[in-house]
Structure 1
Amino acid sequence: MTSTDAAAGFLENPYILDLFAGPGGLDVAAHLLDVPSLGIEWDKDACETRYRAGLRTWHADVGAVRRERFEDLPAGLNVLAGGPPCQTYSVAGSGAGRKALDEVKQVIHALVRGVPEEEIDGRLTELGDDPRTALVLEPLRYAIAALGSPNRAGRPFDVIVLEQVPAVEALWQVYREALETGLPHPDGTKVLYEVAEVETLRTEAYGVPQTRRRTILIARLDRHGTPPLPRATHHTYNPQKPQRGGPDDVTAVGSLPGEPSAPAIAGAGNPLRPWVPMGEVLGPGKGSAAGRRPPFEVVSNYGSGGDPKKRGIRTDRQPSFTVTGKVSRNAVRHPDGTPHAPDRLRIAEAGILQTFPPNYPWSGGDKSQQVGNAVPPLFGMHVLAAALALPLPPEEKLREDWPEAADEDRATLRKEGCGAPDGCGPTCPNP
C-alpha cells in the first residue's frame, strides 16, 4: 500500500511541530512513520492523554508560544502541521468564523505584506468575541516567525501540512496564494512554496471506518517540488446507495461511477478496496474492550434536516457517522430496536472508529471531546506520507497495542511540557 510514487523521503531528518495537537492523532501517525514530533496543546485533558501515550507535548497556548517562547522551540523542527480549532467555521458551530471569512482573508494578505504584528493583532480583535476564529492564522504566523528566528538562523519550515473542516477551504486557497507568492524574509527576499491542489478528502477513502470530510493543504519549499495529495486506497461511501463500494458489493472493482477522481485513485495495479464497515473493527476479537457482536445499529446524536426526531441510523455493515465530541451520546441497539449492551459507544470504540490503537490511553476529562477533535491517525498517515514522500507502513500497525508511558517517563514529559513533573506549572494556560 503506497500513498505516493516516492519510495523514500527527501528530508534527511523530518521533525514535526504539531500545533493544536489534540490527544495525538497526527503524532500517532508520525510515530508509525518513524518521524519525531512535538505537539503544542492548550487543553489539559488532551495533554493528560498525550503524556500517558508518551508523546512530547507543550501544555501551552499556541499564540503565546509564538509571541513569548518561539526561540525555545527545538531548532531542528522542519515540518509545520496544524489543525486549528474548527468550531467557529464548522456547520455544527456558531458560524462566527464563516461570517468573518472575508476579514480573515484580508489579514492573511496583510501578514504576507509584512504588516507589523501589533497591527495584525489589532485587526484580529475586531473579528468578534470568539478568539478561536483568529487561530486559523497561527500556522501562517509560525511559518513567518521561523524566518526571523535567530535560533533557526532564519531557516523556513520545509513542509507545511494543514487540515480543517470543508468550510475553511476558501481560507486554505488564500493560504495557498500567500505561500506561492512568497513569505517575507527579514533579508528582503521572498520564501516560495509549492502547494498541492487544496482538496476536501473523505476519510473512508483511506480506510477509516467513518465518513468524515477534511480539507487539506500540503506545501513544500519550492526546491523540494510540488507535493502530491494522498491517493485513495478505498471506495467512498454513498448514503443513497449504502451497499455500493462496500465489502458486500461484488461488483466493486476499480473506481465506481460518480466517485471522485484527482487524488482519489489507487494507481496502476492498486485497485480500490471496499470501504471499511464499523463491524469489521468493533466486532469480537478486533480490539474493542469486549467486542461488540454484530448485528447492531448506531443511532446518531444529530437529527436529519434539523429534526431531532429524524436521527440517522448506520448498521454494522456501514461506516460510522462522523465521530464528534458528542459521540458517547450515540445509541447502539439491535436491529429490532432493543438496546445493544452497552447501549452507548464506549470511548475505546469511538477511538477505534477514529483508527487509534485499541488500547490508546485516553485520560483526563471529556474524553468524548478529545476523540471527536482528533485527526484519524490512519488518515494522518496518508497525508504525512504524501507530504514527506514516505512509504506507508501496514495499516495493521494501528491495531497493535500502544505502549503506555511509564510513570517516570510521564514525569519527564510533564516536566518538559508543563514545567513541573507532577502538575501544571506557571507557563500552562488557565482552563
Structure 2
Amino acid sequence: MRAVELYAGAGGLAMGVSLAGFESLAVVEWDKWACDTVRENQRRGYPLVANWPLNEGDVRDLDWSTVPKDIELLAGGPPCQPFSMGGKHQAHDDKRDMFPATVQIVRQLRPKAFIIENVKGLTRSSFANYFEYIKLQLEFPEAPRRGHESWFDHLMRLQAEKTSGRMHDGALTYNVTSTLVNAADYGVPQKRERVFIVGTRSDLNIDWHFPDATHSEDALLHSQWVTGEYWSRHRIAKKSRPSMPDKLSARVRRLGATSPKEAPWRTVRDAIADLPDPRTRAALAVRDHRFQDGAKVYPGHTGSPLDQPAKTIKAGDHGVPGGENMMVHPDGSVRYFTARETARIQTFPDGYVFHGSWTETMRQLGNAVPVALARLVASSVGQAILEADCRSVSAMALGARAAA
C-alpha cells in the first residue's frame, strides 16, 4: 500500500504509517531542523526512514502530478498554531492554516483514505463553524472555494449541497469521521489529547471506525492501589511506596471489587525505567540523554508525576512552557526530561536520533504525533482498505461466474 505524508516534522506520524505497512511515495516537511533529523537518520541507515523520498519545502510548491492518483493513504498533521490553546487562535485568518492546501492535495491525489491529526483546540466552540468547514471541504473536495467567496459563504454552500445530495452523484466524496483521542488510552505514556480526522473514499464502501481504547486510568489505579502489581513490577519495596492520595480513596474502593478489562495507562516510570539517571556517567552511553539544569516549580509551572502518564509534551519558541516537560519525583524534586526520555514518552524508537540542541529537539518532539498512536490508527485504516478491496474482488468474481 502506498502513502504520502504531509507536514511530516521529525517523522512521528510518517514512522507510524511505515510501521503499519505503507510505502512512502513522498514525505514533505518545510522545517530545516526536522528535515535534518530525518536526513541524519537516513545517513545512519535507520531502516524505517532509509528509503523515504524526503522533500524539504512547502506542500503547495510540490509537483503533485509526479505522484500516482488513487494511492491508499494521505496522512499529515497541518501546523497546529492557528488552533492551539497556546497560540493566537486566528484559525482561517492565520497564514499558517494549511487545511486549504491539504484539501487541494486530496482533490489532486484522490487517496483511498486520509488521516489528519491536529490539536484539541480545533474543537473549541469558538472554532465550531470553521471545524465544520474543514470537514465539509474534506468531504467534498471537488467543490472548492470560488474566487471572491468568503470561507463562511463557502461553508453555507457546502452545507446546502450536502443537504441536497447534489455532490453525491459521480463526484469525489469522502466519508469523514472526527474523533478526540487521549493518547494515554492507547498505550502512550502521555495524556495527549488530539483530534483525528479520518476520511475514506465514498465509492469504495470502506467500513472504518476509530479503534477502541486499549488502556485506562482505572486499570492503572487498580494495579497501583488495589493489587500493588505496579510497584512490584518496578521493584519498589512496600516501605518505599508513596501513599495513596486522599482524593483517590473513594474511587479506589469502587475499583476493589472489579478488574478492569483494559491494560493500565503507561506512566513516565514505565517509559524510562531502564534509562540511567542523566546525571551519572552511565548516561553518556545513551544518545540524546543529557541532563538539563534549571528546573523549578512555581505557580503555573508544574511537572509530570513519575507514576502517571506525562502531561502533554509541548513545543515552545523559548524553551519549555508551563513545566509540562519537567518530571516530578515522589519526593517532590524536579528535573527536566532529557531528549531521549521525551522521545520515549512520544514512543519514538531508541535508535532514532534528533538533530539540533535540546531546545530544538524538544520543539520537534512537542510537535510530533506519538509513533505508537500513529501506527495504531494507520493500521486500522490499512486493514479497512484491504478488507474493502477483498470484498470488491469477491463481488467481481461472483459477478463473472453469474455472467458465465
TM-score by length of 1: 0.62
The answer (yes or no) to whether the contact 1:26–1:376 under 8 Å persists in 2 is yes
Q: Is 1:312–2:293 an aligned residue pair?
A: no
Deviation at 1:195, TM superposition (A): 2.3
Superposed, which structure 2 residues align to 1:38-57 within 5 Å? 38-54=26-42, 55=49, 56=52, 57=54
Counterpart of 1:360?
352
Counterpart of 2:261?
271
Matched position secondary structure for 1:40: strand
Q: Is 1:250–2:226 an aligned residue pair?
A: yes
Matched position secondary structure for 1:92: coil
Q: Is 1:79–2:73 an aligned residue pair?
A: yes
Matched position secondary structure for 1:132: coil
Superposed, which structure 2 residues align to 1:338-377 within 5 Å? 338=333, 343-364=335-356, 366-377=360-371
Counterpart of 2:389?
none
2-side partners of 1:361 and 1:387: how far apart? 28
Superposed, which structure 2 residues align to 1:204-215 within 5 Å? 204-215=184-195
* Count of aligned pairs between the two proteins: 302
AA matched with 1:140: V
- Summarize the Cα distance change of 1:302–1:71 in structure 2 as closer, same or farther, 3 Å threshold: farther
Counterpart of 2:107?
144
The answer (yes or no) to whether the contact 1:15–1:76 under 8 Å persists in 2 is no
Percent of paired sites with the same residue = 25
Segment drifting more, 270-279 vs 202-211: 270-279
The answer (yes or no) to whether the contact 2:107–2:141 under 8 Å persists in 1 is no
2-side partners of 1:82 and 1:300: how far apart? 35
Deviation at 1:166, TM superposition (A): 1.8
Matched position secondary structure for 1:49: helix
Q: What residue ranges of structure 1 are gaps of 5+ in the alignment?
A: 1-13, 101-126, 147-155, 238-242, 259-269, 293-298, 392-431
Q: Is 1:158–2:102 an aligned residue pair?
A: no
2-side partners of 1:206 and 1:390: how far apart? 19
Q: Is 1:216–2:196 an aligned residue pair?
A: yes
Higher helix proportion, which one? 2
- Summarize the Cα distance change of 1:311–1:182 in structure 2 as closer, same or farther, 3 Å threshold: closer
1-side partners of 2:354 and 2:58: how far apart? 21
For the pair shown, the structure with the greater C-alpha radius of gyration is 2
Given candidates 213, 223, 232, the residue that maps to 1:232 is 213
Q: Write out per-residue CA displacement over residues 66-93 of structure 1, whole angstroms, 9 at most, x where no aligned residue.
A: xxx1223355743111110011210111
The answer (yes or no) to whether the contact 1:161–1:219 under 8 Å persists in 2 is yes
Q: Write out per-residue CA displacement over residues 235-273 of structure 1, whole angstroms, 9 at most, x where no aligned residue.
A: 148xxxxx9646414389xxxx99xxxxxxxxxxx9311
The answer (yes or no) to whether the contact 2:200–2:206 under 8 Å persists in 1 is yes
Superposed, which structure 2 residues align to 1:10-159 within 5 Å? 14-37=1-24, 38-54=26-42, 55=49, 56=52, 57-65=54-62, 69-74=63-68, 77-97=71-91, 100=92, 127=93, 130-133=94-97, 135-146=98-109, 156-159=110-113
Given candidates 167, 172, 178, the residue that maps to 1:191 is 172
The answer (yes or no) to whether the contact 1:324–1:369 under 8 Å persists in 2 is yes
2-side partners of 1:85 and 1:91: how far apart? 13
2-side partners of 1:182 and 1:40: how far apart? 21
1-side partners of 2:172 and 2:384: how far apart? 24
Deviation at 1:30, TM superposition (A): 1.9
Counterpart of 1:418?
none
2-side partners of 1:221 and 1:137: how far apart? 19
Q: Write out per-residue CA displacement over residues 73-132 of structure 1, whole angstroms, 9 at most, x where no aligned residue.
A: 3557431111100112101111122xx4xxxxxxxxxxxxxxxxxxxxxxxxxx3xx410
Deviation at 1:348, TM superposition (A): 0.9
Q: Write out per-residue CA displacement over residues 23-73 of structure 1, whole angstroms, 9 at most, x where no aligned residue.
A: 1001211222221123100001100111223332100111222xxx12233
Q: What residue ranges of structure 2 are gaps of 5+ in the alignment?
A: 43-48, 145-168, 229-249, 252-259, 287-292, 386-404
Q: Is 1:174–2:133 an aligned residue pair?
A: yes
Superposed, which structure 2 residues align to 1:392-431 within 5 Å? none
2-side partners of 1:74 and 1:284: how far apart? 44
Compute the RMSD of aligned alpha carbons.
3.7
The answer (yes or no) to whether the contact 2:303–2:327 under 8 Å persists in 1 is no
Matched position secondary structure for 2:100: helix
2-side partners of 1:246 and 1:83: how far apart? 35
Deviation at 1:180, TM superposition (A): 4.0
- Summarize the Cα distance change of 1:226–1:249 in structure 2 as closer, same or farther, 3 Å threshold: farther
Segment drifting more, 74-83 vs 350-359: 74-83
AA matched with 2:100: L
AA matched with 2:267: P
The answer (yes or no) to whether the contact 1:42–1:61 under 8 Å persists in 2 is yes
- Summarize the Cα distance change of 1:42–1:302 in structure 2 as closer, same or farther, 3 Å threshold: farther
The answer (yes or no) to whether the contact 2:190–2:312 under 8 Å persists in 1 is yes
The answer (yes or no) to whether the contact 1:200–1:215 under 8 Å persists in 2 is yes
- Summarize the Cα distance change of 1:350–1:251 in structure 2 as closer, same or farther, 3 Å threshold: same
1-side partners of 2:173 and 2:326: how far apart? 49
1-side partners of 2:223 and 2:132: how far apart? 36
AA matched with 1:201: V
The answer (yes or no) to whether the contact 1:279–1:317 under 8 Å persists in 2 is yes
Segment drifting more, 220-229 vs 81-90: 220-229
